[in-house]
Amino acid sequence: MSDIAPVSGRRHGWLRDLRRIVFFTAKRLLALFVTVMIGVYLTIVIANMGGQVDELRELQIRMTISEEVRADPSFMQMPSEERNELIEEQVQMEIQRRNLDQPFFLRSIDYLNQAMRLDLGRAEEMHSDTGARDVYDIIVERLPATLLLFGTANLLVFFVSVYAALWLSRRYGSRADRAVIALAPSSAAPAWFYGIFLILFFGFLAPILPPGGMVDIPPPEGRWAYSLSVLQHMILPVTAMFLSSIFISIYSWRTFFLIHSSEDYVEMARAKGLPSSLIQSRYILRPTLSPIITSFALMLIGLWSGAIILEQVFNWPGLGTLLFQAIGFRDTPVIIGGVVVFAYLLAVTVFMLDILYAILDPRVRIEGGRS
Amino acid sequence: MRRWLDGLQELRRYPSAIGGLAIIFFLIFLALYTVITIPYSEALDKWRGGEAWRMHPVNASPVWVDRLTGGDKPRTQIISSADVRPQEASFDGGRQLRIPLAFDYDSGEFPSEINLYLHTEGSDREAFVRLNWHTPDGQTIPLGGQRVARDDRVSISQNRALEGRLGMVPHVGLLAGDSDPQAPEVQKGQYRLTVDAILFGEDASLDADLVVYGRVHGIAGTDFQRRDLMVALLWGTPVALAFGLLAAVGTTITTLIIAATGVWFGGWVDALIQRLTEVNIILPLLPILVMVGTLYSTSIWLMLGVVILLGIFSAGIKTYRAMLLPIREAPYIEAARAYGAGNTRIIMRYMIPRILPVLIPTFVTLIPTFVFLEASLAVLGLGDPELPTWGKVLNDAQEQSALYNGFYYWVISPAILLMLTGLGFAMLGFALDRVFNPRLRTQ
pTM of the model: 0.80
A29 part of contact set with chain B, CB < 8 Å? no
Cα–Cα distance for residue pair A210/A232, rounded to 1 Å: 7
Secondary structure of residue A105 in the 3-state scheme: helix
Asked if B409 and B61 count as a contact pair (C-beta separation under 8 A), the reply is yes
- For residues A33 and A279, give the distance between their C-alpha atoms in angstroms, rounded to a whole number: 41
In the prediction, which pLDDT does B443 show?
A: 38
3-state secondary structure of B102: strand
CA distance A291 to chain B (A): 13
| Phi, then psi, of B32 in degrees rounded to 5 | -65, -45
Strand extents, DSSP E, B61-188: 77-80, 87-91, 94-105, 113-121, 127-134, 140-148, 151-155
CA torsion sign for A238, A241, A243, A248 is negative
Residue to mutate among B278, B295, B309, B439, with most A CBs inside 10 A, is B295
Least confident stretch, A13-22, A274-283, B284-293, B361-370 = A13-22
pLDDT (0 to 100) of residue B237: 92
Q: With H, G, I as helix, E, B as strand and everything else as coil, classify residue B213.
A: strand
Residue of B275, B280, B294 for testing the chain A interface, max A β-carbons within 10 Å: B294
Instruction: Single out the residue of A203, A146, A328, A302 nearest to residue B372, CA to CA.
Output: A302
Residue B91: name the closest of B183, B189, B199, B4 by CA.
Answer: B199
Which pLDDT value is given to residue A306?
Answer: 61
Cα B139 from Cα B200, distance rounded (Å): 31
The partner residue sitting opposite A305, judged by closest CB among B285, B368, B406, is: B285
Q: Could you give the CA distance from residue A156 to residue A159 in angstroms, rounded to a whole number?
A: 6
> How many alpha carbons lie under 13 Å from residue A118 in its C-beta half-sphere?
11
State how far residue B298 is from chain A, nearest Cα, in angstroms: 12
Predicted pLDDT at A20: 78
Q: Given an 8 Å threshold on Cβ–Cβ distance, is B423 in contact with A298? A: no
For the segment B337-362, what is each residue's pLDDT rounded down to a tens digit?
Answer: 888 888 888 888 888 888 877 788 88
* B253: contact with A, CB 8 A cutoff: no
Does residue A368 have a pLDDT over 60? Answer: no
Helices assigned H by DSSP within B266-330: 267-282, 285-295, 300-312, 316-328
Rounded to whole angstroms, how far apart are CA atoms B33 and A127?
Answer: 49
Q: Return the bridge partners of A194, or none.
A: none
Q: Per-residue pLDDT tens for A312-321?
A: 888 888 888 8
Provide the shortest C-alpha distance from residue B409 to chain A (in Å). 11
pLDDT of amino acid A369 = 41
Q: Select from A262, A304, A324 the Cβ nearest to the Cβ of B380.
A: A324
Asked if this assembly's ipTM is beyond 0.85, the reply is no
Q: Report CB contact under 8 Å: B278, A192.
A: no
pLDDT grade for A2, boundaries at 50, 70 and 90: very low
pLDDT of residue A5: 44
Does the beta carbon of A192 lie under 8 angstroms from any beta carbon of chain B?
yes
- In order of A41, A66, A256, the CA distances from A83 in angstroms are 39, 9, 74
Mean pLDDT, chain A, rounded, equals 78
Instruction: List CB contacts (< 8 A) between B426 and chain A.
Output: 184-188
Give the residues of chain B that fall short of pLDDT 70.
1-3, 437-443
pLDDT, tens only, A76-101: 777 778 888 888 888 888 777 766 77
> Which pLDDT belongs to residue A370?
42
CB A168 within 8 A of CB A256: no
DSSP conformation class of B231: H
Q: For residue B30, what pLDDT is reported?
A: 92
Using alpha carbons, select from A108, A110, A62, A113 the residue that is nearest to residue A86.
Answer: A62
Q: What is the mean pLDDT of residues A28-42?
A: 84
Q: In whole angstroms, what is the distance from residue B57 CA to residue B407 CA?
A: 14
Q: Residue A367 — very low, low, confident or very high, per pLDDT cuts 50/70/90?
A: low
Give residue A371's pLDDT. 37
Which of A169, A174, A327, A336 to substitute to test the interface with B, most B CBs within 10 Å?
A327
**Average pLDDT estimate for A346-351:** 80
A187 contact residues in B (CB cutoff 8 A): 426
Taking CA atoms, A216 is separated from A47, A213, A228, A322, B2, in Å, by 38, 8, 10, 19, 63
